[in-house]
Structure 1
Amino acid sequence: MEETISLQDLFKTLKKRLALILTCMILGVTIAGVVSYLLMTPTYQSSTQILVNQTQQEQDQFTSQEIQTNLQLINTYNVIIKSPAILDLVIERLTLDMTPGQLTQHITVASEQDSQVVNVTVKDPDPHRAADIANTTAEVFEEEIPKLMNVDNVNILSPAIVGDNPQPVDPNPPLNMAIGAVIGLMIGVGIAFLLEYLDTSIKGERDVEEILDLPILGLISPIPESDVNLDNVVRTRRKRR
């Protein structure tokens, strides 16, 4: 006989194991909060913008080939900014205790869509060092690009500035705690259904029907406690007589 589970049974299981599910949720939120506030190092972000000018006189209209050439040029600049030719000089000027490969992991270079602006974003545990790395990278790139590509069309548009009260971008404790709550909820529900599946005790006539594969012919109604007490009183009086 195939075992079927109704929606009502699912809700009964969830209600029965509600304390377990809530405990898992609270545990997930607590672990995420402890990891976010105590174990993870705060990371700050600082950005500077570089403007790539046209190397030729601006025209009223640009051909698709010229537009493609400009995009390829900016993409080339994005690669050069994170190359050892630039980062070695940045490390030397700031006396950073890291290799160009390690510094690359702190730097993100991206160009604004359909524009000549390149964003250099740096993440670091120290907000002031993040700004220094971003500004120095832009300055070194501006100085070295004429030597590397024989062009002089790069200017710093907006330097990185550290605010009065910088806020870390990572970690995000509220988001991590929300994720912890969802994970705890999923684990709690999973454990609840697993315990219900492993529980082979007989709880009612439906279980007897499913296990023995036989119809139920009759049921013994439960005797109220008041009737049991009354019957004991009657028996006690008869014995005294």
Structure 2
Amino acid sequence: MGKKILILNIIKDLRKRLKLILFTALVSIGAVWIFISFVVTPEYQATSQVLIGEAPEVLQDGTALPALDGPAIDQISSAIVRSPEVLRRVIMEMGLEDKTSIRILHDQIAFSKTGDSQIYNITVTGDNRKEAAAIADAVASIFIEEAPKMMITNELTLISSAPELASASPIEENLIFSLGVAGAFGLIVGTLLAFIVEMLNSISKTESQKRKGTKEKLQTVFK
């Protein structure tokens, strides 16, 4: 019974520690915001789409050409998009010599097919929105210029340009949610800290009162 009363008194006294609870929540929110804003590197994605038409069956001089099936065109197109020739042109035309390299840019580019269509996505991932979109457009444009020289087709069309701003990173999209979770976590931790502080204070007061009572009894006995 005494323990229950003690806990109830501690819960009532938590109001005195409201500043501690709120301070802990604010610290938690601030720590998460600093981590997301200055520690975690955001990633943005921008996509340009290219339509690759059917390859001609016969050249102008009458030479028959072997048919390329879908997987073959996919593999050839992917190789061209991320080929050193295309990437070197992208870096030079965009003035990225001091910012990136062919190897780094190669890893930033993904080439994929849209379903069963002849539409292909050139997706660039980067830490800068506008730059990712500009690179996606540049890669698509240069691919359209270079592809006819390297594979059996001349029907390439840029059907969708990357937007001015690439899509936001998942971290940025969920920033408010992350800060909310951090605030809730801070409130819980702050409440626990306040509870512990109040419990220690109550125990300390109880022990002090016991010692005081014992001392008074001894003084009464020796009078």
> TM-score band, normalised by the shorter chain?
0.5 to 0.7
Aligned partners of 1:82 and 1:104 also within 8 Å: yes
- Which residue pairs with 2:24 in the alignment? 24
User: Of 146, 149, 164, which residue of structure 1 is paired with 2:148?
Assistant: 146
Count of residue pairs the alignment pairs up: 184
- Which residue pairs with 1:169 in the alignment? 168
Q: Given residue 85 of structure 2, which amino acid in structure 1 is its aligned partner?
A: A
Once the two structures are superposed, what CA deviation does each residue of 1:127-174 show, in whole Å capped at 9, x if it has no partner? 2x4444222211221222233334334322223453xxx587248657
3-state DSSP of counterpart to 1:181 = helix
TM-score norm. by structure 1 comes to: 0.53
Structure 1 unmatched ranges of 5 or more: 1-7, 58-68, 205-241
Q: Given residue 157 of structure 2, which amino acid in structure 1 is its aligned partner?
A: N
User: Of 121, 124, 128, which residue of structure 2 is paired with 1:125?
Assistant: 128
Distance, in Å, in 1 between the alignment partners of 2:163 and 2:198 is: 62
Aligned partners of 2:25 and 2:190 also within 8 Å: no
Please state how far the C-alpha of 1:88 moved relative to its aligned partner.
1.6
Identity among equivalent pairs (%): 25
Distance, in Å, in 2 between the alignment partners of 1:83 and 1:199 is: 67
Structure 1 residues 76 and 39: CA distance shift in structure 2, 3 A: same
Range with bigger deviation, 76-85 or 186-195: 186-195
Q: Given residue 118 of structure 1, which amino acid in structure 2 is its aligned partner?
A: Y
Distance, in Å, in 2 between the alignment partners of 1:167 and 1:140 is: 20
Query: Which residues of 2 match residues 37-76 of structure 1 at below 5 A?
Result: 46-55=46-55, 69-71=69-71, 73-76=73-76
Distance, in Å, in 2 between the alignment partners of 1:79 and 1:126 is: 25
Structure 1 residues 21 and 198: CA distance shift in structure 2, 3 A: closer
Once the two structures are superposed, what CA deviation does each residue of 1:89-134 show, in whole Å capped at 9, x if it has no partner? 211222312201222354343322332211223345362x444422
Structure 2 unmatched ranges of 5 or more: 1-6, 58-68, 204-223
Q: Given residue 125 of structure 1, which amino acid in structure 2 is its aligned partner?
A: N
Distance, in Å, in 1 between the alignment partners of 2:116 and 2:103 is: 29
Please state how far the C-alpha of 1:81 moved relative to its aligned partner.
1.5
Please state how far the C-alpha of 1:25 moved relative to its aligned partner.
2.8
Distance, in Å, in 2 between the alignment partners of 1:74 and 1:187 is: 51
TM-score norm. by structure 2 comes to: 0.56
Aligned partners of 2:25 and 2:184 also within 8 Å: yes
Which is greater in Rg?
A: 1
Distance, in Å, in 1 between the alignment partners of 2:163 and 2:195 is: 58
- Which residue pairs with 1:99 in the alignment? 101
